[in-house]
Amino acid sequence: MNIGERILQQSEILGAMTEVQGEVTRTYLTPMAKRAGEQIIAWMKEAGCDEAGWDTLGNVVARYRGASENAPVLMTGSHMDSVVNAGKYDGLFGILSPIACVYALAAQKKRLPFTFEIVAFGDEEGVRFGVTLIGSKAMAGRFDDAWWSKADANGITLKQAVIDFGGDPTALASLTRDPKKYLGFIESHIEQGPILLNDGLSVGVVTSIAGATRVRVNLKGLAGHAGTVPMAGRKDALACAAQMTLAIEEICAAGNGEVVGTVGKMEVAGGGAMNVIPGEANFTIDIRSGDDATRLAYVSRVEARCEAIAQRRNVSFAWDAFFHLSAAPCDEAHQAQWAQAIAAQGVQVKHLPSGAGHDAMSFKGVLPLSMLFVRCGNGGISHNPLEMMTADDAETATRVMLHFLERFQA
C-alpha cells in the first residue's frame, strides 16, 4: 500500500467515527472526537513520533524530535472536527499527511534540524459552541476567556465540556507557543474549490488566507394586498433584496477573482404569505478577499449600491457590518520553498489564495505561516459527503511536504 492509499484508508476509518450514522459529523469534545483522537494518537506513535497525546483543551499533539536537544520547532496540523454531514478529507488530510512524513523520516532514521510538531486541533469549525478556531487560537495566545461560558444546544458550557473530556481550563496558559522557540506554522489542506482541478494540477501554493466581512441587511417597505396594490406603487422589501443580491453578484464578479461575495441567507419577516407583498426582509452578505484593502473597497461599493437601490424603491435600509476578519498573508520565504518542493515533483507551480478560513490564520503576526493546497475532485466540492481526493494526489502532496521539511530554511 502506497502513501496515498494509506491516507485514504485512514480517512475512511476516521470518517466512520461519526455522531450521526450515514454522515460524517464529528464535533468538539464529544465521544466520537475522543475515539478519533485516540486513533490519531495510535497512528502518530506507530509512525515514529517520540511523543503523542491529548493536551488540556482537547487537541492531539505529537512531536518528532529534532537532531539536537534544544532544536527549534516547526509546527503543522489541521482540525479533526467537522461540519454537519461533512466530507472525509477537510482538516483530516492536514493531520494524516504529516504523520506519513514522519513514517518516511523514521524509516530512514533521519532527524531534522528542528522538532516537527503535529497538531490535530479539536475545534476549527465552531459547530458545537459557535466559536471557531478554538484550538489554534489557544496555541497562538488568542483564546478569549469569554468563550468559557459559550454553551452548546444542550446548555453545556465549553468550560464544563473541557472538564468532562478530561481537560483542565486552569492550565490553558500552558498551551501558548513561544514564538522564540518556533520557526513557523505550515498546513496542508484540500483546496475546497475548483481552481487546481480546472487547471489540471494536484497541488498549489497558497498566497493568503482570505479576510471576510459579514453584514446583516434589514429592509422595511410596506406590506399590502398582492391583488390590489398596483406594481408602480409598491414598496416590496423582498424584491428590493433580490435586486440587491444580483447587484452584489455583479459587483464581485467584476473583481476578476480578487474578491467573492455571497448572499447566504434571506428571509421575509414573519415568514411571509403568498398573497401579501413583503413589507420587511432580511439577508446576509459575506465578502472575502486575500487582500484587506481590496475587500474593504468592495464592501463600500456594495453598501453604496444597496443604499441606492433602496432609495429608488422607497424602502428603508439598515446595514450592520457585524463581523470583520483580516486576511492572513502567507510567508513569502515559505511560499518559495513550497514552490521548489512542488517543482521537484514535476508539477507546474500554481499560486492561489484561500477563500476559506483555516487554523493557519490563527498564527498571523505570531509565527510565519504558510499552506499547501491539494486538489479536490467532484468540481472542488467540500463540506459535503461528495468531497473527494485521489490517492495519487494525497501521495504527491505528502512527497511535496516531505521535500519541504527536509530542505526547510527559516
Distances (CA, A) of 194 to 237, 256, 376, 383: 35, 16, 7, 14
Contact criterion met (CB below 8 Å) for 350 and 193: no
CA separation for the pair 290, 260 (Å, rounded): 10
Cα–Cα distance, 368 to 219 (Å, whole number): 43
Q: Which of the 8 DSSP states describes residue 210?
A: P
Beta strands in 9-98 (DSSP E): 51-54, 60-64, 73-79
Task: Please report, rounded to a whole number, the percentage of residues in the chain having pLDDT higher than 90.
Answer: 98
The three-point CA angle 126-130-132 to 5° equals 40
Is the confidence at residue 318, as pLDDT, over 90? Answer: yes
| Single pTM value for the model | 0.90
Question: Which residues in 101-246 belong to E strands, given as ranges?
Answer: 115-121, 182-190, 203-209, 211-220, 224-225
**Residue 36 near residue 78, CB atoms below 8 Å:** no
Residue 12 dihedral angles phi and psi, to the nearest 5°: -65, -40
Instruction: Name 336's Cβ contacts closer than 8 Å, sequence gap at least 6.
Output: none
253-256 own/partner pairs: CB under 8 Å, 24+ apart: 255/289, 255/294, 255/298
Residue 207: phi, psi to the nearest 5? Answer: -90, -35
Q: Quick one: pLDDT band at residue 256, thresholds 50, 70, 90? A: confident
Angle at 125 between CA 124 and CA 127, to 5 degrees: 130
Give the other-Cβ count within 10 Å of 213's Cβ.
22
SS (H, E, C) 88-102: CCCCCHHHHHHHHHH
CA dihedral 302, 303, 309, 310 (to 10 degrees): 150
Name residue 62's amino acid.
Answer: A
State the cell numbers at 59: 487537541
Of the CA atoms within 13 Å of residue 75, those in its CB half-sphere come to: 26
Cβ contact 262:285 at 8 Å: yes
Beta bridge partners of 186: 76, 370
- Please compute the mean of the pLDDT values over residues 25-38 and round it to a whole number: 98
The predicted structure's pLDDT at residue 140: 98
> Can you give the pLDDT at residue 13?
97
Check whether 1 has a pLDDT greater than 80. no
Half-sphere exposure of 164 (CA within 13 A, CB side): 11
Arithmetic mean of pLDDT over the chain: 97
Q: In the chain, pLDDT over 70 holds for what percent of residues?
A: 100
d(CA 114, CA 96): 20
> What's the average model confidence in pLDDT over 171-198?
97
- Tell me the pLDDT band of 351, cut-offs 50, 70 and 90: very high
Give the span between the Cα atoms of 298 and 251, in whole angstroms.
8
**Distance in angstroms (rounded) separating the CA atoms of residues 110 and 112:** 7
Instruction: Please count the CA atoms within 13 angstroms of the CA of 330 that sit on its side-chain side.
Output: 31
**What mean pLDDT is predicted for residues 308-330?**
96
Can you give the pLDDT at residue 246? 98
**pLDDT tens sequence across 196-209:** 999 999 999 999 99
Helices (H), 130-219: 134-139, 158-165, 195-199
Beta strands in 224-358 (DSSP E): 224-225, 260-262, 266-268, 276-277, 280-289, 316-325, 328-329, 351-354
Predicted local distance difference test score (pLDDT) of residue 72: 98
Residue 182, Cβ density class (10 Å: 0-12 exposed, 13-18 middle, ≥19 buried): buried
CA dihedral defined by 189, 195, 199, 205, rounded to 10 degrees?
-40
In whole angstroms, give the CA distance from residue 179 to residue 331. Answer: 15
Amino acid at 80: M
So what's the pLDDT on residue 336?
A: 98
Q: List C-alpha distances in Å: 245 to 222, 265, 286.
A: 20, 11, 11
Q: What is the pLDDT of residues 208-240, one digit of tens each?
A: 999 999 999 999 999 999 999 999 999 999 999
> Are the C-beta atoms of 360 and 370 separated by less than 8 Å?
yes
